[in-house]
Structures are given as structure tokens and as C-alpha cells.
Amino acid sequence: MENAIPLAPLSPPIDPETITTLETIAQRVLWLSTYMIHYANKVRPDPDGMKVGGHQASCASVVSLMTALYFAMLRPQDHVAVKPHASPVLHAIQYLLGRLPQSMLTTLRDFGGLQAYPSRTKDPDGVTISTGSVGLGAAATIFGALTQRYLRDHFGYSTPGRYIALVGDAEIDEGNVPEALGEASAYGLSDLWWIVDINRQSLDHIAPEGQVVQIARMFEAKGWEVVWLKYGSKQRAFFERPHGHWLQQWIDDCTNAEYQSLLNADGAEIRRAMLEWGTGVGADMAGLLADVDDATLKELLMNLGGHDIFQILQAFTTAAKVQDRPVAIMAYTIKGWDLPIAGHIDNHAAQLTQAHITAMQERFGIAVGHEWDGYDVLDPIAQWIQQTQRQLALPQRPASPMPPGPLHVPETLGMRFPERASTQGAFGHILVALSAIKEVAARLVTTSPDVAVSTNLANWINQRGIYAPAERPNYWAKHGITSLLQWRETAAGQHIELGIAENNFYLALAMLGLAQELHGELLLPVGTVYDPFVARGLDALTYAAYAGAKFIFAGTPSGLSLSREGGAHQSIYTPLVGMGLPGVLYYEPAYAAELECIMCWGLQQLMDRQHGQSVYVRLSTRPITQAVRHSTPEWRRQVLAGGYWLRDYRAQLDYAQRPRVHIFASGVMLEEALEASDMASEDGIYANVINVTSADRLFHTYVAASQQGAPSYLDELLPAAERRVPAITLLDGHPLTLAWLGALFNAPLKPLGVVHFGETGSLQQLYHKHHIDTDAILTAMVQVLFEK
Ligand SMILES: Cc1ncc(C[n+]2csc(CCOP(=O)(O)OP(=O)(O)O)c2C)c(N)n1
Ligand SMILES: [Mg+2]
């Protein structure tokens, strides 16, 4: 199995009683997690005949590690991201710890019951980090630890917990893992452990040779300390025998594929393989193994460090001594440990048969009818658990020296914008204006994947500084070189600058956006990203939304405004992402005053921890004439509700007699919409312009209201009479965003927008090419009005 590793002392002072007790508990955890899946699949009535599923082998793989962790190490302030497929192990443990009622154990994967994968919003037993999409929950721990560090530096947060990821070895293949690892050391995080469950199996296959070493080297290259947990105590005791090192060398030389296959072979076959290897390298394996019977030989093969409580505790002790960097514990395990499917290539979704379960139940001495039993209060194990947990429970953290105080964000900041402005430009000014509200400014934190300057965060950064836990020298200032950007990096800074890594960006927003829930301290995270690269971090954005995090992000520049950059730099379908993602509200303001109002409201959303949602503003660098510059309460209500009439001909006496049309437009396209409306009026056409600030809000309030049979804001915005008027929808993005409005109309509706990849050109050339310029609007108008 790949490599020889340095061995720590064989016997540190970990008392035998603890080990025996933990071994006994681990057995119960193995039983409960296995039986939980068995029950859900083979005992509980299944109304629809569909597979229920669950992963007994993946669970067994981490039973020993998780038992040792939860019963002997974990403190209440720690946060754990549990490998998704080990959720039954987590629930079994929480049950034995008294944090989950027994009745829930029968509800795995049932409606309203325990979720398939640990969910912080849906599971009842204290999951704080959701997992499911492999690699993501683990990577989130890095940004959790970063958030904790940030809180400590800004608010004196004083009892930091440890962030721990129990991560499958194949999870490391996910790109979001290497993407995230470097940020941990860049920010000097140390309260961070990853325990890698090296069972050398993924869903389909056995890990390729060299993979484990590559993983370890990657951790090291990214500044992590690697702690090896490879051999079990029996193996290690054997290595101490005369010539015992040959066994170690055989283990190290054996390929992953062969080791896995031998886990399924009998002792005689294992011996044959060892002898064959010995002949090749000149080791007298026959002599070495002469007094080892076949059963013991098999036991030796199975005795990997990740299932040996003593070795696990020792690894934890070693890890705990590392104070200056994050730690990766490389724990060798067996997928399906102690089950009949142990180590088998087919075992990922395999489940034990009833006969297997019956045999296991007998072997573990669990009486029929007592399958769900925990430990009776008088049982010495129950008492041991109680005492250990008391010791591990630290006193409550003292109140923050800076109490949240009354946070208030006004509806408007009373800003004045120039006659022509872009929403991206306004965004920078709005952030700076928010700095004037002291309590709000203290909790604002911005982040960006290396595009802070080009998304207009420079003024904010100059004012609030860059966050760096350990102050870094500013050589520009030191050497007297002038620059517009002041890159002051201190622990008081409020901008978290990330590498070009949009996945990290959203994970950072996810964990900053859960600071209140995870650490009792509210942060108001605001991020900026190039809109086309929203898709680059989409999995993490989904993760953040699913976890219930609250944050604001600006996708900017968007659409064709990146015209000169060409091709795929012009975002097309991001509005659909915003609309499709639960928990995130997409707004596309046209005017600076709208953005001001949306930002203020967005911050209020972040403060409403119960019902608030995250907000995505899709912005542009294109300056347009500000048709609205002064906001009124009624106008703000309409902006936030999703849209308002900007050009309204309804009061004209001859309104009903004239040809008339509605133009629903979003964002920068309002410029063209108004121009087309003006031109149409010269031809006697009344072209109303309705500025859709949020197709998302309009759509979802409409859907929610219609489920209740109630009216929605759309009924106010668009009275029945107006639905007989032909319409055009228009945005610099995918036309589906607004085309659904057609479902409300008893008249033709023509959706304009971008459906092809872009290319380099001027805005006007590209608008023309994509049929969203004024000419295209006028043509569409003629079509909906006069063509049958
Ligand atoms: C992003 C993502 N892709 C694919 C899957 C499907 N999947 C679930 S588990 C798994 C293999 C995991 O292997 P490993 O992490 O080694 O865990 P093990 O089951 O071996 O303990 C895969 C491919 C997923 N959950 N998430
Ligand atoms: Mg694995």
C-alpha cells in the first residue's frame, strides 16, 4: 500500500479502559448504523417500491474514527463535516450521546426523518455543516475556520472550536478540494483537521497506485501537516519481531488493487501472495509467518490504523500538538469493516442480507426486539460516556465584547447619482456609503476571487483594508510609491481576498453567511464575481444556498457589457441560475437608485435570520441614462416587489383606441426599451415600458400566491385588462428569464434576449447581432401588433 511511513512511539499514555470502552461503543455504532439502513430498506414498509438506499460499507469504514472522535475528542464548540455516506454513523452516535431520540432511528431517508446526507437545515441532531456533493462540505470547513478566525480578530471571539472534516479518499479527487486547501495555510488556520478515510475505494473502483502519496504530498505542498494513521497495533507489534519489517514492507509494496482483493481472500491465499512477494525480494516470508495461522494472518491484514482505537487516539494526540497549521490525518481503513462485504469492489451500495443481519445480531449479542437499544443509565458505559462528555464540554463562551447592538439599515442612503451611471459603478459607491453606518459597517465583510478592483471594490478596500490574520508589510507605502489602491493587510481588514477560485468564493460566502448560526456573531457578507464565472462556482453556490447561508453577491459585469472580452465572457444564462436557485433572489437593476434600495433591503434580508434570503444582483459596466434618480417609498416597494411601470400610457384618453404594446425590460436594456418606446410613439403606438427589476421575485411570489389561490404582486403590476395587450420581453441575458410572462397573456408575446455565445465587438454591434437593439425591438413590436 504505497509507502513506508515514520512510526510514532508504540505506546503513548492512553489508558486501556478508554480503549476497551471505545471499542465496545464502536461495535454498537457499527450495529446501529448497519441496522438503520437495513431497517429503512428491508423492514420499513415501502409505499412506492423504489430503492431506499444507504451505504453500509462507507459507514463501517469510519465507525472507529468517528467513535473515537465523538466520544473522546470532540468538544461542543467543534464543527464536523461528516462524509456524506456516513450519515447513519453520525446519527447512531448522536443517539448514543443522547442527542437524538430513539424513535428517529427508524426514519432514515423517510419523509420528515433523518436525511440521506447530513443536513444542517433538516437533520434534528446538531449537524452544523451539510455534506452531500462530495468534497464540498469538507472544503467548507476551511472557510468555517477562516470565518472563526475573522470573528476572533474583529470581535474578540474567544473560545474557538476546531473545524474537522471526515472525508472519503475519493472526495479528494473533486477539484474543489485542491482549490480550497491552499487558503487554509494562506490564512494561517490551525484549528482545522481533515481525517481522510483511506479505504482505497470510491464508488466504482480501487484507488490507482500512488494516489495516497499524491494526496499526502498535496496536503504538504499546501502547507498542511500530515499525520499518518496507517498500521494497526497488531501489525505494529508484528513489525517488532525479528525480521518483522518484512511484513511492513510487504504491506507498503502491495498494490492497492491486490491488497483489496486479498481482504476478500482466505488466510492461505494471503500467505501464498506474501511468499511469492518474498521470493521476489529475497525475504524469508515462510520463516517469518511459520507460527502465524491463517486466521491470524487475515486478522493482521485487516488490522489497519483507522480501525485501531489506540492508534487513532494517538494520531489525534499528535494532531492536537500541531498549533501552527492545519492537519491532515491519513487514516487507512477498510470499506465495509467487520461486515461480510469488507473491502469488496462491489460494496459501495451493497447491503447485507437478512441472513447476514441475523448472524451479526447474534455475534454482537443483541437480543431480538432490542435492536435499537442504547446504554441503560446504570450501564458503566453510559456512565463513562456521561463523564467523558462532561469533561469535553467547556464552559459557554463569554459574551462578545462587542454586543450586536441595534443594527439598522435604512431603506435608502439618500445618495445622488450622476445623470449617466452604471450599476457596477454605483455598487462601489453604495458600499462606501454604507460605511457611514457604523454598526453596519463593522459587520460588513467583502470577498472576491481576485476581481475586487475590476468589480469596483477599490474604494471600499482603501477605506476598510484587506484582512490578514498576521499583519503583512505594505511595501508600496514603505517605499513611497503612489498607487490608487492601498493594499493594507491587517487583522482589522474587512475585505477577504481570494485566489481566482470561484468555488472558494461561494464557500467563503457560505460560511461567512452562517457566522450567526455557527458562532452567534452576525456578519453581512458581500461578494463580487464576474458574472460569467458564477457558473464556475455553481456547485458551491448551491451548497451555500442549501445550507441556509445568507449573503449578497454581485455578478458583474454581466451580459454583453464584457463585449470586448468576447465569447464566453458574456454571461447569458446566469439570470436562470438566480431564478432556479432556492434561497437566492436575483435582481437585475437598471438604475443606480434601484441598486441602492436593493442593497439596503438585501442587508435587511441578511439580518432576518429566519426568513431572509440571499441576494444576487446582476450588474453591468455600461453607463445608461438614469431615468429614475429620486426614490420614494412607493417606488422602492415596487422595485423590491420585482418591477414598475416606467413609461405608462394608460392615462392617455385615446389609450384604448391606439395600437399598444408592453415592453418588459431588465437592466441595461431599459435604455433601448425607452428609446424604442419613444420612436414607436412617433408612429402613434403606445409602447408602455415596465422595468422588471427582479424576474425571480415576480415569478416566485406569483407561484406562491397561486398555490394559495391568492393574488400576487403581478396582479397589481399587470391588471387583467393589460394582459390582452401584445408584449415584448427584453434583457441582456437568456430570454427564458422573462418569457414565462407569456403564460399570463391573452395576446402575443415575443421574448428578446441572448441565446448564442458572444464574440468581440462594440456593444451596439453585439446588440444588433443578438437582436436586442432598438431596431430589433421595433421589429418585434410590429410582429406582435400586426402579424397574425
Ligand atoms: C459531486 C459528487 N459527485 C458524485 C457523487 C456520487 N458519489 C457518492 S459517494 C461517491 C464515492 C465516494 O468515495 P469515497 O469518498 O472514497 O467514500 P467511501 O464510500 O469510499 O467511503 C460518489 C462518486 C456525489 N455524491 N457528489
Ligand atoms: Mg473511499
Residue pLDDT, tens place only, 463-501: 999 999 988 888 888 898 988 888 899 999 999 999 999
CA of 372 to the centre of ligand 2 (A): 28
Q: Which residues have a Cβ under 8 Å from the Cβ of 77 and sit 6 or more positions away?
A: 159, 160, 161, 394, 397
Beta bridge pairs of residue 643 = 692
Distance CA 64, CA 333 (A): 9
Cβ(614)–Cβ(545) below 8 Å: yes
pLDDT score for 389: 92
Ligand 1: nearest atom to the Cα of 62? 21
pLDDT score for 2: 67
Q: Which of 100-109, 181-190, 325-334, 556-565 has the lowest mean pLDDT?
A: 556-565
**Average pLDDT over the chain, rounded to whole?**
94
DSSP 441-504: HHHEEEEEES-TGGGT-HHHHHHH-EE-SS-B--HHHHTT---SS---EETT--EEEE-S-HHH
Question: For ligand 1, atom 9, which residue shows the shortest CA distance?
Answer: 203
DSSP for residue 42: I
Distance CA 595, CA 528 (A): 14
The set of cell numbers assigned to 22 is 471505545
The set of cell numbers assigned to 333 is 481503513
Q: Which residues line ligand 1 (CB under 6 A)?
A: 58, 61, 83-85, 133-134, 168-171, 197, 199, 201-203, 335, 348
CA-only gyration radius of the chain, Å: 31
* Confidence band, pLDDT 50/70/90 cuts, at residue 5: low
pLDDT score for 788: 64
The ligand that comes nearest to the alpha carbon of residue 200 is 2
Q: Which of 216-220, 447-451, 481-485, 723-727 has the lowest mean pLDDT?
A: 481-485
Distance CA 383, CA 389 (A): 10
The set of cell numbers assigned to 470 is 498576521
pTM: 0.96
Work out the average pLDDT over 621-637. Answer: 95
Work out the average pLDDT over 325-352. Answer: 96
Work out the average pLDDT over 316-343. Answer: 96
* Confidence band, pLDDT 50/70/90 cuts, at residue 636: very high
For the cut 50, the answer to whether the pLDDT of residue 86 exceeds it is yes
CA of 281 to the centre of ligand 1 (A): 37
For the cut 50, the answer to whether the pLDDT of residue 188 exceeds it is yes
For the CA atoms of 156, 157, 162, 164, the dihedral, rounded to the nearest 10 degrees, stands at -110
Work out the average pLDDT over 584-589. Answer: 98
* Angle, CA of 145, 146 and 150, to the nearest 5°: 120
pLDDT score for 10: 46
Collect residues with CB below 5 Å from ion ligand 2: 168-170, 199, 201
Higher pLDDT, 8 or 534: 534
The set of cell numbers assigned to 757 is 455565445
pLDDT score for 405: 60
Question: For ligand 1, atom 17, which residue shows the shortest CA distance?
Answer: 168
* pLDDT tens sequence across 354-413: 999 999 999 999 999 999 999 999 999 999 999 999 988 865 555 554 455 678 999 999
Work out the average pLDDT over 550-576. Answer: 91
For the cut 70, the answer to whether the pLDDT of residue 11 exceeds it is no
